C-alpha cells in the first residue's frame, strides 16, 4: 500500500510574525549573514521594515531552536560572519504561511467583491 | 565611550549562551550599520545609534524570559551549553580523556559502570518526561530502566560483584 502524506491544514497553522516571514523569505533564495539579511529585508519590504540588530538576532535564535534555519560557516568569511540558510522544514513552514496568506487574500477579495455588487 | 563600546557592554547583559553565539556577529552588523549611516550625516547616524541601543535594551528581558522558560534540550539545539564547552587552551585529547575519568576512578568493570550510567540517564529522562507531562515517554523510559537494571544485576553476577 502506498503511503500518502496527509496535507497539513493551513487554517490550523499559527500565523508567523512579519519579521519572521521576511527573514524566511530573504533566506529562501540564498544563504545570508546578519547584516545582509537586514539590508535585504529592507529592500524586500520597500523600506517599510527595518529590523534592528536585537530584533533580528532574537528571531534568528528562535528559528534556530525550531530548526527552520541553520548556521554554517562560509569558506570566504571570518568566524563572526556565520551565514544562515533555510532548512527543508523551514521552507515547508514558509510555504504553509504563504498558502495561509493566499487563502486569506482570496477570502478578503471575494468579500469585497460581494460588498461592491 | 563610543557607540560600539556601549553596544558591546549592553550585550554582556544578555544571557551567556546567547551572547557567546551572537555577540560577535551583532557587533559586526552594528558597525556596518554605523559606517553606512555616518556617511549620510550626523542626524541619521545619531537616530540609528539611539534606535539600535533602545532595541537592544527592549529585547533584553525577552531573551532572559526565553532562556528561563525554554526547555534546555530545545535551547541546546541552537545555543551552546557553556558548561560543556572545552575551555580555550585545553587540548582536545586531555579534555576528552577527563570526560572518561569516572569509569577509570571506579573499581567497577567498564561494562558494569556503563550499564549503571545508562540507568541513571534513563531515570533522569523519565523524571524530565514526567515534569513535561509526557507520560507515554515516561512509561517507555521506566520500562527501559527496569530492563537496564536487570542487565546491571546480570553483569554484577558475571563479574562476581553481587555484594
Please state the ipTM of this predicted complex.
0.77
Residue B103: phi, psi to the nearest 5?
-65, -40
Residue A71: phi, psi to the nearest 5?
-95, 145
Verify whether the Cβ–Cβ distance A54 to B58 is below 8 Å. yes
Q: What is the pLDDT of residues B43-69, one digit of tens each?
A: 989 999 999 999 999 999 999 998 888
Verify whether the Cβ–Cβ distance B33 to A64 is below 8 Å. no
pLDDT for residue B13 is more than 70? yes
**pLDDT of the residue at A76:** 59
- Measured between CB atoms, which of A34, A52, A64 is closest to B55? A52
- Over residues A68-91, mean pLDDT: 77
Verify whether the Cβ–Cβ distance B29 to A55 is below 8 Å. no
Which one, of B117, B120, B77, B85, lies nearest residue B101 by Cα? B117
Which helix (H) or strand (E) is A116 found in, with range?
Answer: helix A88-116
Verify whether the Cβ–Cβ distance B55 to A33 is below 8 Å. no
Rounded CA-CA distance A67/A74 in Å is 19
**A17-116: what fold?**
Arc Repressor Mutant, subunit A (1.10.10)
The domain limits of chain A are 17-116
pLDDT for residue A107 is more than 70? yes
Q: Which of A61, A77, A80, A83 to mutate to probe the B interface, most B CBs <10 Å?
A: A61
Q: What is the pLDDT of residues B102-161, one digit of tens each?
A: 544 556 777 888 788 888 888 878 887 787 777 888 888 888 888 888 888 888 888 887
Pick the residue from chain B with its C-alpha nearest to A61. Answer: B78
Amino acid at each position: 500500500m502506498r503511503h500518502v502524506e496527509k496535507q497539513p491544514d493551513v487554517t490550523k497553522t499559527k500565523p508567523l510574525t512579519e519579521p519572521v516571514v521576511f527573514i524566511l523569505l530573504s533566506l529562501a533564495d540564498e544563504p545570508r549573514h546578519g547584516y545582509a539579511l537586514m539590508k535585504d529585508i529592507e529592500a524586500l519590504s520597500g523600506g517599510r521594515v527595518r529590523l534592528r540588530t536585537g530584533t533580528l538576532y532574537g528571531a534568528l535564535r528562535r528559528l534556530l531552536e525550531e530548526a527552520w534555519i541553520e548556521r554554517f560557516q562560509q569558506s570566504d568569511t571570518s568566524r563572526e560572519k556565520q551565514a544562515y540558510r533555510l532548512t527543508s522544514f523551514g521552507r515547508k513552514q514558509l510555504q504553509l504561511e504563504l498558502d495561509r496568506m493566499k487563502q486569506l487574500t482570496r477570502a478578503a477579495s471575494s468579500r469585497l467583491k460581494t460588498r461592491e455588487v | 565611550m563610543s557607540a560600539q563600546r556601549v553596544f558591546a557592554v549592553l550585550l554582556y547583559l544578555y544571557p551567556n549562551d546567547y551572547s557567546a553565539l551572537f555577540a560577535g556577529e551583532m557587533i559586526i552588523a552594528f558597525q556596518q550599520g554605523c559606517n553606512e549611516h555616518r556617511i549620510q550625516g550626523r542626524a541619521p547616524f545619531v537616530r540609528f545609534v539611539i534606535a539600535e541601543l533602545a532595541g537592544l535594551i527592549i529585547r533584553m528581558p525577552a531573551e532572559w524570559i526565553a532562556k528561563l522558560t525554554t526547555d534546555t534540550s530545545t535551547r541546546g539545539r541552537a545555543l551552546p551549553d557553556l558548561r560543556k564547552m572545552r575551555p580555550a587552551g585545553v587540548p582536545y585529547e586531555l579534555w576528552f580523556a577527563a570526560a572518561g575519568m569516572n569509569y577509570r576512578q571506579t573499581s567497577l568493570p567498564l561494562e558494569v559502570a556503563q550499564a549503571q550510567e545508562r540507568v541513571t540517564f534513563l531515570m533522569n529522562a523519565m523524571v524530565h518526561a514526567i515534569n513535561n507531562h509526557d507520560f507515554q515517554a515516561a512509561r517507555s523510559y521506566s520500562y527501559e530502566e527496569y530492563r537496564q537494571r536487570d542487565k546491571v544485576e546480570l553483569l554484577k553476577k558475571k563479574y562476581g560483584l553481587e555484594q
